[in-house]
Structure 1
Amino acid sequence: MSSRTDRACMLCGIIQPFRRFVDDGCPNCESVLHFQDNEDGQVQDCTSPSFEGLVALGEDSNKSWVARWLRIDSFVPGLYAVKVNGKLPPHFINDLTDQNISYRPRDGSADD
């Protein structure tokens, strides 16, 4: 069960306590979003306390149709949100585009 301090990464959807994003960063997105030790910037702007649904991703994620459907099959094991309310700020989206990373909002607004 999630707590009031849990947040979901808007890029990958992993759910962690706010403090863990600050202390350890995002295990999937740290190289592009730089959460670690950035409490007032990236962690606040790129994670959301509002998310729906939970999926537990294990070691054999590449065999899971749910992981493929959510596009999390290449991510580290953990707890993931099915839907994350909110979108990355435009300047983060531009930074991702500059790094040839396509951003798909996890709020259900992206067309498949």
Structure 2
Amino acid sequence: MSGKNDRACMVCGVIRSFDEFAKNGCPNCESVLNYAGSEDIIQDCTSPSFEGIVALGEPGESWVGRWLRIESFQPGLYAVKVNGRLPEDIIEELESKGITYRPRDGSSTD
């Protein structure tokens, strides 16, 4: 993987191709963001610019999973850092559903 069409979810950091997001959505965020079939959401909520790749096989057993705060997510490939920010309306929608958005671009200090 890790081709020129790969993108990382700005919420969870999972890496997939644009087509995979369009066809199957995000394995962690689909119930909230509804990526599948929505090119606009994919453009707004994923980034083609990310750094580092971590393969996560057993998220609950991984210190890297805990470090990246992805220990409760599905196994897969994840970006260490995702460049970009979610649009304000998406952040507000997440917050209205009780989800705290922590940017994955390295700017979050908690």
Normalised TM-score (structure 1)? 0.96
Aligned CA RMSD, in angstroms, stands at 0.7
Unaligned runs of 5+ in 1: none
Q: CA deviation at 1:84?
A: 0.1
Q: Which runs of 4+ in 1 moved over 3 A?
A: none
Look up the SS of the partner of 2:78 in the other structure.
strand
Aligned residues: 110
Counterpart code for 1:13? G
What is the match of residue 44 of structure 2? 45
Q: How does 1:14-29 map to 2 (within 5 A)?
A: 14-29=14-29
Q: CA deviation at 1:63?
A: 1.4
Normalised TM-score (structure 2)? 0.97
Query: Could you give the per-residue CA deviations for residues 50-105 of structure 1, whole angstroms, max 9, x where no partner exists?
Result: 000010000x2211111001011111110000000001100000000100100000
Look up the SS of the partner of 2:79 in the other structure.
strand
Counterpart code for 1:54? I
Q: CA deviation at 1:9?
A: 0.2
